[in-house]
Amino acid sequence: MFIVWGSRITRRSVGRIAAFCPICGEVKPFSLKRVGKVGHIYYISFGQGETVGYEGRCETCRAQVWVDPYEYEDTPKDRSLSLDALRSLALPSHAEHMRQLEERERLARRGEISEEDRFDRMLEPFLMVEKMVAPRTGETCFDKQSGLGCLFVVAVVFAAIGLATMVEKNDDLAGMIAVIGAIVAVAGALFTLVSLATDVGRFVRKRGVPLIVASLKPLAPRLEELERVIRYLKESRMVVGKKIKARKLYAAIQKATGRAIDEDGAPEQR
Give the strands of the sheet with 64-67, arranged side by side. Answer: 5-21, 26-41, 50-58, 64-67
SS3 105: helix
60 binds Zn ion (CB under 5 A): yes
58 binds Zn ion (CB under 5 A): yes
Give the interface segment with Zn ion, choosing from 17-25, 34-42, 64-72, 138-146 (CB under 5 A): 17-25
24 binds Zn ion (CB under 5 A): yes
Give the interface segment with Zn ion, choosing from 7-15, 20-28, 44-52, 137-145 (CB under 5 A): 20-28
SS3 223: helix
53 or 210: CB nearest Zn ion: 210
Strand (E) or helix (H) holding 55? strand 50-58
Q: Site for Zn ion (CB under 5 A): which residue of 4, 19, 21, 240?
A: 21
105 or 199: CB nearest Zn ion: 105
Distance in Å, CB of 79 to Zn ion, minimum: 17
27 binds Zn ion (CB under 5 A): no
SS3 43: coil
Determine the Cα–Cα distance for residues 161 and 9; give it in Å rounded to an integer. Answer: 33
29 or 49: CB nearest Zn ion: 29
Give the interface segment with Zn ion, choosing from 16-24, 75-83, 93-101, 115-123 (CB under 5 A): 16-24
98 binds Zn ion (CB under 5 A): no
63 or 209: CB nearest Zn ion: 63
61 binds Zn ion (CB under 5 A): yes
20 or 142: CB nearest Zn ion: 20
13 binds Zn ion (CB under 5 A): no
Determine the Cα–Cα distance for residues 39 and 68; give it in Å rounded to an integer. Answer: 25
Residue type, 33: K
Determine the Cα–Cα distance for residues 244 and 247; give it in Å rounded to an integer. Answer: 9
Determine the Cα–Cα distance for residues 258 and 252; give it in Å rounded to an integer. Answer: 10
4 or 23: CB nearest Zn ion: 23
SS3 82: coil
Taking the alpha carbons at both ends of the chain, their separation in whole angstroms is 60
Count of residues making up the chain:
270
17 binds Zn ion (CB under 5 A): no
32 binds Zn ion (CB under 5 A): no
Q: By CB under 5 A, name the binding residues for Zn ion.
A: 21, 23-24, 58, 60-61, 63
